[in-house]
Amino acid sequence: MAEQENAVEVRDLVRSYGKTDAVDGLSFRVRAGRCYGLFGRNGAGKTTTLKCLLNHLRPRKGSVRLFGMDPAREEVAVKARLSYVPESVAFYPWMTVRETLDYTASFRGHWNREVESDLLKRFDLDATRKVDALSKGMKAQLALVCAVAPEPELLLLDEPTSGLDPVVRRDFVRAVIGAYLSGAPGRRTVLVSTHLISEFEGLIDEFTVVERGRDRLTLEAERARERFKRIRLRFPGAPPAIPEPEVSRVNGAGREVELTTFDFSEDLRARLEKLGPEWMEVENLSLEEIFIAVAGGEKNRA
């Protein structure tokens, strides 16, 4: 596969439930070999989008393509190249962990027993235990083992860390996803839908913020960090009004002012310096802070 081929392509996707538009004209594309974040608040349409990618739901309008294929027409060929971890993980309660893994492996042409064994050890999962006796977090871990062991080209994760404790969450994101991506650089792709963005800081290459079923902002992570900044200013007296159009949020306390900008540039810095602050500091924003600025801001045009 060429490195820059699109693993996922969503164009003007529309999907409604009755009169409610869950997804309303969403577009984004995920290049192969990248870790892509689909960020959004609850009910933004992230899960519906992933279900459309899996042909669990059919788009009312627009199109979805995985590896250039239509999942509705070439369902098996598409699913042979991906693994999916749903938001609410469920297994057959009478099966053991071992039986669950064997059952899942029966669907696959390729299954890496070494990866499976490593992950079972890492997560401290007992293969002889009944799935019914596992905690919610352990079930989430088992779902991840089932997803990673076949070494798919694309990993679709829907809120994958929501059931995990902080230690495992960190381990999962850094070790499991990191190892998965570096296992075949440029070939393996991750599309993760989440609002627990801080867990994926450093791994996400590109992201789309989804709001009310629409793509509000799509940016490469590096570019986002360049554009979104927090600027702290301290003035000798009362702070002046700051009418800059690139500034999305202004917080003030005494002589200090904190700004959030969605389009930082040296030009903006120069304009702010002209206001005469006695001290100015520019900080990078984390992806989570960028998401909050975009999805939760009042003046968050981007």
Partner 1 sequence: MRARLVKEIRQLAPWPAAGILLLFAVPPFLGTERLIVEFYLAYLMLAVFAPAARLFGAEFDHGTLERLLSQPISRLRIWREKLCALAVVLALAFFALQLARRLFLGSGPSASDLVVCLAAFSGGPLVSLYLRESFLALWGSMSLPAVPIWGWLFLVYLARGDFHVGFFWVHMAPMIPYIAIAYVVARRRFLTLELDQVPTRRLGVSGWLRVKSPSSFGPTARLFLKEIQIQGANLLVLPAFLVVCGVAYGLALAEPPGPGQPGGWLSILGALPPMRAGLLIFLFPLLVGATAVAAERQMGLAGWHSSLPVSRARQWWVKVLVVMSLAVAGGGALGGYLDRLLFTLLEARGVASTPLPATVIWLSIFSAAAGMYASSRAREPFRALMGGVALFLLPLVPATSPAALQIRGAGLRSFFFPELPEAGLYLGITLPTLALLAFAFQNFRPEPWLWEKSGGRALQWVVLGGLLLATGFWY
**Contact footprint for partner 1 (CB under 8 A):** 17, 51, 54-58, 75-76, 79-81, 83-84, 86, 88, 90-95, 99, 102-109
Q: Which residue's CB is nearer to partner 1, number 101 or number 173? A: 101
Distance CA 292, CA 168 (A): 25
Is residue 214 within 8 Å of residue 25, measured between CB atoms?
yes
What is the C-alpha to C-alpha distance for residues 13 and 60, in angstroms, rounded to an integer?
8
Judged by CB, which is closer to partner 1: 65, or 229? 65
**Count of beta carbons in the 10 Å neighbourhood of residue 226:** 14
**CB of 41: closest distance to partner 1 in angstroms?**
17
* Parallel/antiparallel/unpaired status of strands 206-211 and 35-40: parallel
Residue 36 — φ and ψ, nearest 5°?
-115, 135
Q: Between 102 and 278, whose beta carbon lies closer to partner 1?
A: 102
The SS3 of residue 120 is: helix
| H or E element that contains 29 | strand 20-31
Q: Which is nearer to partner 1, 88 or 265 (CB)?
A: 88
The length of the chain in residues reads: 302
Burial class for 292, CB neighbours closer than 10 Å (0-12, 13-18, 19+): middle
> Could you give the CA distance from residue 58 to residue 124 in angstroms, rounded to a whole number?
38
Cβ-based nearer residue to partner 1, 83 or 194: 83
Structure tokens at 14: 């529309």
Please identify, using beta-carbon distances, which residue of 41 and 174 lies nearer to partner 1: 41
For the record, the structure tokens of 18 come out as 């009755």
DSSP string across 173-192: IIIIIHHHHHHSTTT-EEEE
> Which residue lies nearer to partner 1 by CB, 90 or 270?
90
CB atoms within 10 A of CB 177: 23
Shortest distance, position 73 Cβ to partner 1, whole Å: 12
